[in-house]
Amino acid sequence: MKKKLIAGNWKMNGSLAANQALVRAVVDGLHGAACQAAVCVPAPYLAQVQALRQGSALELGAQDVSRHEQGAYTGEVSAPMLKEFGVRYAIVGHSERRQYHGETDETVAEKAKAALAHGITPIVCVGETLAEREGGYTEEVVKRQLAAVVHANGPCISEVVVAYEPVWAIGTGRTATPEQAQQVHAVLRAQLRAATTHADRVAILYGGSMNAANAASLLAQPDIDGGLIGGASLKSADFLQIIAAAG
């Protein structure tokens, strides 16, 4: 059985002092963990967290990556730059970037491609808004979002991680039920199967108010291969409890 992956998305949180305490506690608590664990940190802290995680199994991730290699793209950070800091994962297409930065399905697909080209595993986020769910469009939306990434990446799609993050569950304390999440994960798995013979290798994470109390029941679903954790990844005890639940 493949190992589950628990990835923290710190979003725009942290400070040198807070990161040091958090990463030290996570690294200390990680010994013997049966799953893979990562933290996706703001770009200015990559070097700090790279040093703090040295020698541990905790992997380092970024929260975004440019679709360009280099050049006149003020404010962007390229995959080769991330690679220099030991970055293993890069979140792409988080709903907050789709919503506040106008990222389209095509942009997200190109970002995934740029990451893969440099040996970074993209964590491709998909998910419907509340209005889309209530309108009965959940499957249509997530399939459209994933299709763009499949189209741009061909057989390399087996190298990505997918994260199903219903927008209405992010930061709201309102989690998808294990059954609701599993239903969408199964749809995504079927879509991956149509694109690659290695679909079972692809980790499909759930994200959206996952916490120490609800992690075990979500992670028990057959197509939920891990979690992308926002708020609860900022507290070492909570994050470690989720990691333990994934064991």
Residues identified as active-site:
94, 165
93 in contact with ligand 13P (CB under 6 A): no
Given the structure tokens 């459209």, which residue do they identify?
144
Q: How many residues bind ligand 13P (CB under 6 A)?
A: 14
Give yes or no for a contact between 229 and 219, defined as CB atoms under 8 angstroms apart. no
> Residues 6 or more apart from 154 whose CB is under 8 A from it?
none
| Helix ranges restricted to H, the chain | 16-29, 46-53, 79-84, 95-100, 105-117, 130-134, 138-153, 178-195, 215-219, 236-245
Interacting residue with ligand 13P among 60, 115, 149, 228 (CB under 6 A): 228
Residue 19 binding ligand 13P, by CB under 6 A: no
Q: Which stretch binds ligand 13P (CB under 6 A): 107-115, 130-138, 145-153, 228-236?
A: 228-236
Q: How far apart are CA 102 and CA 62, in angstroms?
A: 19
> Would you count residue 63 as binding ligand 13P (CB under 6 A)?
no
DSSP 32: T
Confirm or reject binding of residue 209 to ligand 13P (CB under 6 A). yes
Site for ligand 13P contains 214 (CB under 6 A): no
CA 230 to chain centre: 10
- List 46, 229, 243, 246, residue binding ligand 13P (CB under 6 A): 229
Which of 29, 122, 166, 207: binder of ligand 13P (CB under 6 A)? Answer: 207
In terms of Cα–Cα distance, which of 160, 227, 226, 224 is closest to 192? 160
For residues 107 and 72, the answer to whether their CB atoms sit within 8 Å is no
Residue number with CB closer to ligand 13P (87 or 195): 87
Q: Which residue is nearest to ligand 13P (CB)?
A: 230
Candidate list 110, 208, 223, 225; residue touching ligand 13P; CB under 6 A: 208
CA distance 123 to 227: 11
- Verify binding: residue 165, ligand 13P, rule CB under 6 A: yes
Minimum distance, C-beta of residue 191 to ligand 13P, in the bound complex (Å): 21
Does residue 215 bind ligand 13P (CB under 6 A)?
Answer: no
Q: Does 122 bind ligand 13P (CB under 6 A)?
A: no
Distance, CA of 92 to CA of 98 (rounded, Å) = 9
Residues near ligand 13P, by CB under 6 A: 9, 94, 165, 170-171, 207-210, 228-232
